[in-house]
Amino acid sequence: MRAVLKRHWLEIALILPLVLYIFGFTLVPVTRSIALGFSSEAGGFTFEHYRALFANGQFRGALINTLAITGLGLSLQLFTGLGLALILSRTFRLRGLVRSIMLVPMGVPTIVSGVTLLYLFDSSGYLNELLFRLGLIDLPIDWASGGIRTLFMIVFADLWKVTPVVVLLMLAGLDAIPESVYEAAAVDGATGWGAFWRITLPLLKPSITMTVIVRGVDVFRIFELPLVLAGRMTPVLATFAYTEYNQYYNSHTSGAAATFLLGVILVFVVLYLLFVERERRAEV
Amino acid sequence: MTETSRRLSPWAYPLLVLAVLFFVTPVYIMFKVSFSSPGEVLTAHPTFWFKEFTLSHWKAVLASGNLNAPLLKSLLVATLTTGLALLITAPGAYVISRLPKGIRYTVVLALFFTRMFPDVGIALPIAVTFIRWNLLDTNLGLVLAHLTKVLPFISWVLVGTFETIPDDLEKAAWVDGASRLQSLTRVVLPLAAPGLAVAAMLVWLESWNEFTFALYLTLSDRTLPLQTYYYIQRGNWFQAAAYSGLLTIPVMMITLLLQRYLRSGYLSGSIKG
């Protein structure tokens, strides 16, 4: 131990602030959140907050909303992201410009994308006006009235904000597929859709798996967009935890909800280790 | 295969046009609202093109006296966070980049996972603690919270930077009589400067945009994102649009400036080795 200290004192000194900070300001708070969820007002250990949580209609609603947004959002994001990446991996005039334009949502703060989508989805907003002018609707749709429409609104907002990231991840995967594979496939008669199903998609699987898990975590803990767009009308897990703390001063309930959220995210982490990591190790 | 077969087939062009409209329209609408007279927007049938261009909302925001404090707070917090983040992260990331491959990978992965924790789970105990430490509504409190958010992310960006600097260069410096600290400051640091600059801009943006921690840690001294949210809650669309525009301009500029760095490595946390 002493020998290690003496030999590597500089390295240890250099990395210590980073380690201490992450320990003190991430790991300790997370532990405290978990502790808050399991401790009673008097300080003893209790499951009471979790029992109350699952008896709470707001929380169950938040859970269902979060699951729906995650499922719907992920599928749409993958579909759109992959489609756009396939288009952008081809050559055409103005490709550089289109690739830059695609990054525009990344240049918009999340809170601002919430605000601008509010202008779009308001009942006298721009989306209703567009649908009206296209002759698709006669009366405005109240997108924020709750239920499936509001979920769709949140999914759309998230889709807009993150599509660039998904496209970039997919493009990186596509770029990694060597041209020679397609040449060999063309000799064997696989072109167009055949080549897409038999070559592109299987070879892209690692990128898709990683995107699903990384994006899955982000959608599951989505906070700003539902807060701005739907407020307390349509809670998700994160906004539920926030409201419990901020409006009702229930830090124990908020801690329990956050811990539940953390538990689900840990499942994603395990999935990541199982699917992305194992494949990576197998490749090496 | 020949070059022509990798060209985009014509049937995809309409999709391309739709995609461009999809990406650009919300931003256009935001700026349009901030420059429109209320009659164009607050109606059952809002107009897509400018009918009456007006600067009145921007003038109102600038003249209201409500802008300076949040703007200064956001600028100050973002700048302080950037400086401290680099100071803490650069040395640590250098050490991680010199670890044996297996261990290095595990450390980077662990850093990556700490960013997966939900913000509401971290912000809650931090807020509870900061109440006791009298750090609510202070710049210092917000800087400390923002560091939590940016350190893991910026560590893996910088680990990637330091990995590209061969350690042979350091060894050569030692042979020439440099001490270990000198080889770091005179050889490694200058070579890492471009990576550090990119990292600095990314941190600055992250802090400038940050909303969740600010929401938990603020009672009255709002940052710019909170100010925007405040106007939206009060239903003041035009002020909110002007604030949104103000918030967006630096982010858009830096994002487009950094676009060649915004590859999957930075986004997925250089996880793919």
Residues A93-141: pLDDT tens digits?
888 888 889 889 988 999 999 998 888 888 778 888 888 888 888 888 8
Which of chain A's residues have a Cβ under 8 Å away from the Cβ of B117? 26, 30, 262, 265
The per-residue pLDDT for range B188-245, each reduced to its tens digit, is 888 888 889 989 998 999 999 999 999 999 988 899 999 999 998 888 888 889 999 9
Which of chain B's residues have a Cβ under 8 Å away from the Cβ of A163? 23
For the residues B163-176, what does the mean pLDDT come to?
A: 86
Out of A104, A111, A221, the one facing B225 most closely (by C-beta) is A111
Instruction: Give phi and psi for A45, each to the nearest 5.
Output: -85, 135
Strand partners, A39: A45
Strand partners, B151: none
The per-residue pLDDT for range B231-257, each reduced to its tens digit, is 988 888 888 899 999 999 999 988 888
- Please answer yes or no on whether B12 and A160 come within 8 Å at the CB atom: no
* Percent of residues, chain A, with pLDDT higher than 70: 99
For chain B, helix, strand, coil in percent to 5 are 75, 0, 25
- Please answer yes or no on whether B122 and A26 come within 8 Å at the CB atom: yes
The per-residue pLDDT for range A191-209, each reduced to its tens digit, is 778 888 888 888 898 889 8
Sign of the CA dihedral running B93, B99, B104, B106: negative
With cut-offs at 50, 70 and 90, classify the pLDDT of residue B5: low
Report pTM.
0.88
Q: Kindly give, in sequence order, each residue whose CB lies less than 8 Å from that of residue B100, ignoring residues fewer than 6 positions away.
A: none
Q: Which residue of A has its CA nearest to B251?
A: A107
Residue A182 contacts residue A240 (beta carbons within 8 Å): no
Give the separation between CA A238 and CA A66, rounded to whole angstroms.
9
Average model confidence (pLDDT) across chain B = 86
Residue B151 contacts residue B89 (beta carbons within 8 Å): yes
Beta strands in chain A (DSSP E): none
Number of H helices, E strands in chain A: 16, 0
Q: Would you call A28 exposed, middle or buried from its count of C-beta atoms within 10 A (0-12, 13-18, 19+)?
A: middle
For residue A92, give the amino acid letter: F
Q: Would you call B230 exposed, middle or buried from its count of C-beta atoms within 10 A (0-12, 13-18, 19+)?
A: middle
* B48 close contact with A: CB closer than 8 A: yes
Give the separation between CA A63 and CA A60, rounded to whole angstroms.
5
- Please answer yes or no on whether B19 and A92 come within 8 Å at the CB atom: no
Give the separation between CA A41 and CA A43, rounded to whole angstroms.
5
ipTM of the complex: 0.87
Q: Kindly give, in sequence order, each residue whose CB lies less than 8 Å from that of residue B200, ignoring residues fewer than 6 positions away.
A: B82, B86
Q: Kindly give, in sequence order, each residue whose CB lies less than 8 Å from that of residue B145, ignoring residues fewer than 6 positions away.
A: A25, B123, B126, B213, B214, B216, B217
Q: How many residues does chain A have?
A: 284
- Please answer yes or no on whether A90 and B7 come within 8 Å at the CB atom: yes
For the residues A264-270, what does the mean pLDDT come to?
A: 88
With cut-offs at 50, 70 and 90, classify the pLDDT of residue B113: confident
